[in-house]
């Protein structure tokens, strides 16, 4: 009933914990949207480096290797942390923004016209 | 009680919808982790471009400009879509991965040692 | 004889022209290293988007498609422009920095130990 | 006189050395344009991480700090290495591609219309 309108409890919990993590360290001063977008890009760079020399087929099996799989999970965690923090400081609800964009993309890419094709529109 | 162990309903809903979006278009064939990591990097590139010429102060006000704010929200939506899809094909729970990493970072950056400093460890 | 010590004429010419392009538009105020690193990342995002849905084999043939090949060449041009500008404002010689790093990598990756393996060190 | 038509000696030398570095390690098999674009994005991610928590003013002074400045120079070297290698496997001349794009941008951004403004076109 008191549930924040914007988020499920689990999402709200992640957002709240990331915010607390930053505030406890007095890092709010560094967390402008500009800086957080850079930090997000840096983490995505580390994630992409995990896949750069793998064939597409090897990339599909990456989680079965405990070491590489653990690194991939950690990098995805880092990306999600900065994305959550960036959305928080901008006042954007992540899942809402994703669902809006998905509806928009559904109109641009009608299933009967794009099936099996990766061409951009 | 019946709640999916891994996700809140809202998170599960986003994951399910992104998956359906891809399957309806027969795009599963393109959605290897390698390709999705690239798509994620491409979307983060578009997001960072929104902030590149802004001062940190201007970036903090970006949502008050309806046009720029709308573009930022759309780009964040795109990033979240690809991150959700990548985590889905890898079998990774996004919030879990973020929370694990946050705990790990809490150990590496003790509050009493790093307060107010952005130095990397 | 008058040749700038740091650069061949052609490299110097590119650097000089990129600088003039920025100065004629009074864009020096935006061209801090921080902003230029972001612009570089944005352009690399556009470049990577050209390859994201291609198989490795298709990516090797991309220049034989005039349309996709033209886009790739233009994106590589954009990346080189911002890299040149970033190096210029930092006072770094691009080719020197690359050659130093290559020598360093030669020590970390001895040919007899890494042949045919993509493992990181 | 025998000079390669496409490049100055110094540029040709860098391209040749990067190619030799890869061939001596039998890494040509990994160096598809797709993979090299990913490696380039990974290196740009490391470069951007050097600037993420700096103010624009601090970023302009980064080379006066020997440690941070050394890291920035090394990351720029890495970016240039992968950009050179990517251009080489695609048969693209880096400086030519940059100059073509610069001419194109000069038409899109006439000096008398864009002076002092960072708005995108």
ipTM of the complex as predicted: 0.92
Neighbours of chain B (3+ CB pairs under 8 A): A, C, D
The model's pLDDT over C26-54, given as tens digits with 9 standing for 90+, comes to: 999 999 999 999 999 999 999 999 999 99
Token duo for residue C62: 């991309």
End-to-end Cα, chain A, rounded Å: 43
CATH top class, domain A9-109? mainly alpha
Mean pLDDT of B32-58: 98
The model's pLDDT over A8-36, given as tens digits with 9 standing for 90+, comes to: 677 789 999 999 999 999 999 999 999 99
CA triple B5-A61-D49, angle to 5 deg: 85
Candidates C30, C38, C48; nearest CB to B42? C48
Mean pLDDT of chain B: 92
Neighbours of chain C (3+ CB pairs under 8 A): A, B, D
Residue D14 to residue C99, Cβ atoms within 8 A: yes
> Coil, helix or strand for A73?
helix
Residue D32 to residue C95, Cβ atoms within 8 A: no
User: What's the confidence (pLDDT) of residue C100?
Assistant: 96
CA neighbor of C82 nearest in space, from D110, D94, D8: D94
Chain A residues within 8 A of C37 when measuring between CB atoms: 38
User: What's the confidence (pLDDT) of residue A3?
Assistant: 42
User: CA nearest B42 in D: which residue?
Assistant: D41
In chain C, alpha helices (H): 9-24, 33-51, 56-60, 66-90, 94-108, 111-114
Q: φ and ψ at A61, to 5 degrees?
A: -105, 10
CA neighbor of D32 nearest in space, from C57, C115, B41, C116: C57
User: CA nearest B38 in D: which residue?
Assistant: D38
Q: Which of D41, D43, D51 to probe the B interface (max B CBs under 10 A)?
A: D41
pLDDT, greater one: C1 or C62: C62
User: CA nearest C50 in A: which residue?
Assistant: A120
CATH superfamily of C33-103: MazG-like (1.10.287.1080)
pLDDT band at C6 (very low <50, low <70, confident <90, very high): low
User: What's the confidence (pLDDT) of residue B93?
Assistant: 96
Chain D residues within 8 A of A44 when measuring between CB atoms: 41, 45
User: What's the confidence (pLDDT) of residue D29?
Assistant: 92
Residues contacting B90, CB < 8 A, separation 6+: A62, A63, A72, A73, A76, B33
Flag whether residue D63 sits within 8 Å of chain B, measured between CB atoms. no
Residues contacting A15, CB < 8 A, separation 6+: A7, A84, A87, A88
Flag whether residue D41 sits within 8 Å of chain A, measured between CB atoms. yes
- pLDDT > 80? residue C77: yes
- pLDDT > 60? residue A72: yes
pLDDT band at D6 (very low <50, low <70, confident <90, very high): low
Where are the domains positioned within chain C?
33-103
Q: Which of A17, A37, A110 to probe the B interface (max B CBs under 10 A)?
A: A37
CA C62: distance to chain centroid? 19
Alpha carbons A14 and C14: distance in angstroms, whole number: 48
User: What's the confidence (pLDDT) of residue D7?
Assistant: 61
CATH top class, domain D9-102? mainly alpha
CA triple C5-C7-C11, angle to 5 deg: 160
User: CA nearest C10 in D: which residue?
Assistant: D8
- pLDDT > 70? residue D117: yes
Alpha carbons D46 and D41: distance in angstroms, whole number: 9
Alpha carbons C68 and B47: distance in angstroms, whole number: 23
Q: Which of C45, C47, C51 to probe the B interface (max B CBs under 10 A)?
A: C45
Residue D46 to residue A43, Cβ atoms within 8 A: no
Residue A59 to residue B34, Cβ atoms within 8 A: yes
């Amino acid at each position: 009933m008191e549930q924040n309108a914007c988020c499920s409890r689990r999402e709200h919990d992640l957002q709240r914990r990331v915010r607390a993590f930053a505030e406890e360290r007095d890092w709010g001063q560094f967390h402008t949207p500009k800086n957080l977008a850079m930090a997000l890009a840096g983490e995505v760079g580390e994630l992409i480096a995990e896949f750069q020399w793998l064939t597409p087929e090897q990339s599909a099996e990456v989680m079965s290797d405990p070491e590489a799989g653990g690194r991939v999970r950690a990098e995805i965690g880092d990306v999600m942390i900065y994305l959550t923090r960036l959305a928080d400081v901008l006042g954007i609800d992540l899942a809402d923004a994703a669902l809006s964009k998905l509806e928009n993309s559904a109109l641009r890419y009608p299933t009967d016209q794009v099936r099996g094709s990766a061409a951009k529109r």
